[in-house]
Amino acid sequence: MDEEARKTFADEVDSRLEDLFGEDEKPTGEDAPSLEDLEIAVEADPAEEVVEALLGKDEVPTAQDLPEAEPGGTAGETSPLRELRSMVLSIDWEITDEVMGTFLDQVESLKGAYGQDRWASLLLQGLSSLGRYIRRRKGKAHPNSINVLKSLYGSLEKVVLPGKADEDEKKRIVARELERFRELKKDVAVGRGRAATVLQRPALEEIKEVIRSEFAKLRAELRSMLQGKSD
Amino acid sequence: MAFINLKKREVQVKIVYYGPGRGGKTTNLEYIYNKFNQRIQTQMVTIKTQGDRTLFFDFLPFDMGKIKGYDVKVQLYTVPGQVKYNATRKLVLRGVDGVVFVADSMTVRRKHNMLSLKNLQQNLASYKKSIFKVPLVLQFNKRDLAEQGIPLLSLETMQRDLNTHLKAPTFEASAIVGTNVPETLKKIISMTMLSLEKELK
């Protein structure tokens, strides 16, 4: 077994273990663990209240109103977004720990660069939250999560690159992204509920089966011990 | 040896928590079950005597999902620690793929740790397995008791007593509050899966 294949296998195992037993999610309680990142981004950030206060709740557009935002073509060679853009394109092709790690590193460094821009900060927080969720779930992430990630990135470009949007438009863009986030969060929650009900019965059956098998082994062991004594 | 069904592409991995009586083996499993039940979606089976001691074994199965195209199912067991239940301990060890040895850090339990580790070596040998080859993690449990003024063995002493020759990964832990309980579990599963990698074509 070559070293590279072994490392990939080890990464796969570690990643799955992190999904199951990672300490940075709340594993108990009513909320789905995989939703925690999204909860933080959407509900705990006071910037969202700013958006709603500025636009009014009724004016927040729904996800259906959103145009598809495609990353690419606008972040120039010298833009701080250049690296992030290439990572977003990579995620579209493959989701690995390495790609997601680099993506999250890029987002973190941009948080520093755009710390004074409240709209960019909010979008970066969304990218960070969604990135962590996708890294944990990988192929099991909600199918729409990559689209939302791309959309968030596309909006980030519009918000930070000069001449792309005025202040009012920026507010509207961020509000749309938050709405998409909410929709995704709801979809993830629905998916999680279904999985939980399906899993319970096989687990019970499995326990019964293993116990039966263990007792059978115990009986066989006792029989062989008794036979050994009588021989 | 893990049960590997090539046709169904399914792997069953058996991990046993071993160690002296009242060392915290069951507490490890209870912590895992209580903390991660939402994620692992399973039920824990435990058979205790009136004095809250493990009579037969504790059992906690869960699915890890697909790895390398195989459905990986992990089964965690504890053994009864009391000396008199050696036949049960030996039985639970049958087909084991990885072992967590839960040592008790209390000074008064020093001898029990060493005897239990020796017992593990002997019982593995009865299945023609070497304690030096089976994936093994040592957990030095009850480190939190130092805060209550209870005399504990130093980590150096525990390393010297138990790990001089084994050179196994070790974790200082408190199963009752969960310190390093998930880390111990992740480590033993990771080591065990790597040991099985060649079988998973």
Rounded distance between C-alpha atoms, residue B75 and residue B93, angstroms = 12
- Asked which of A23-32, A136-145, A165-174, B107-116 is least confident by mean pLDDT, the reply is A23-32
Contact: B61, A211; criterion CB under 8 Å: no
Q: In angstroms, what CA-CA distances link A199 with A138, A194, A195, A202, B62?
A: 20, 9, 6, 6, 10
Q: What is the 8-class DSSP label of residue B43?
A: -
**pLDDT at site A194:** 36
Q: Name B89's Cβ contacts closer than 8 Å, sequence gap at least 6.
A: B18, B79, B80, B119, B123
Over the stretch B8-56, which tens digit does the pLDDT of each residue have? 888 999 999 999 998 999 999 999 998 898 888 888 887 766 556 666 6
Q: Chain B interface, mutation test: which of A1, A4, A6, A13, most B Cβ atoms within 10 Å?
A: A13
* B61 in contact with A, Cβ within 8 Å: yes
Given CA atoms A38, A40, A44, A47 in this order, what sign does their dihedral have? Answer: negative
Rounded distance between C-alpha atoms, residue A181 and residue A152, angstroms = 9
Given CA atoms A7, A8, A9, A14 in this order, what sign does their dihedral have? Answer: positive
**pLDDT at site A171:** 85
**pLDDT at site B54:** 66
Rounded distance between C-alpha atoms, residue B3 and residue A57, angstroms = 57
Q: What is the ipTM of this complex?
A: 0.82
**Greater confidence, A102 or A48?**
A102
Report whether pLDDT(A196) > 80.
no
Contact: A21, B182; criterion CB under 8 Å: yes
Contact B81, B21 (CB under 8 A): yes
Backbone angles phi, psi at B113, to 5 degrees: -60, -50
Report whether pLDDT(B157) > 80.
yes
The burial of B14, by beta-carbon neighbours within 10 Å (0-12 exposed, 13-18 middle, 19 or more buried), is given as: buried
Q: Name A54's Cβ contacts closer than 8 Å, sequence gap at least 6.
A: A171
**pLDDT at site A77:** 53
- CATH number attached to the domain at B8-199: 3.40.50.300
Backbone angles phi, psi at B133, to 5 degrees: -110, -25
Contact: B189, A17; criterion CB under 8 Å: yes
Over the stretch B73-91, which tens digit does the pLDDT of each residue have? 999 999 887 777 788 889 8
Q: pLDDT averaged over chain A?
A: 70
Residue in B45, B87, B94 closest to A211 by CB: B45
Given CA atoms B26, B31, B36, B38 in this order, what sign does their dihedral have? Answer: positive
Over the stretch A4-20, which tens digit does the pLDDT of each residue have? 777 788 888 888 898 88
C-alpha dihedral (A126, B66, B68, B35), degrees to nearest 10: 70
**Greater confidence, B175 or A14?**
B175
- Asked which of A2-16, A24-38, A216-230, B71-85 is least confident by mean pLDDT, the reply is A24-38
* A206 in contact with B, Cβ within 8 Å: yes
Nearest to A88 by CA among A124, A62, A137: A124
Minimal Cα–Cα distance from A89 to chain B, Å?
Answer: 25
Report whether pLDDT(B138) > 80.
yes
> Is residue B67 helix, strand or coil?
strand
Report whether pLDDT(B140) > 50.
yes
* B177 in contact with A, Cβ within 8 Å: no
Cα A19-A23-A27 angle, rounded to 5 deg: 70
Long-range contacts, A192-201 (Cβ 8 Å, 24+): A192/A32, A192/A34, A192/A35, A193/A32, A196/B41, A199/B41, A199/B63, A200/B41
Backbone angles phi, psi at A219, to 5 degrees: -60, -45
Contact: A28, B35; criterion CB under 8 Å: yes
Nearest to A156 by CA among A132, A134, A130: A130
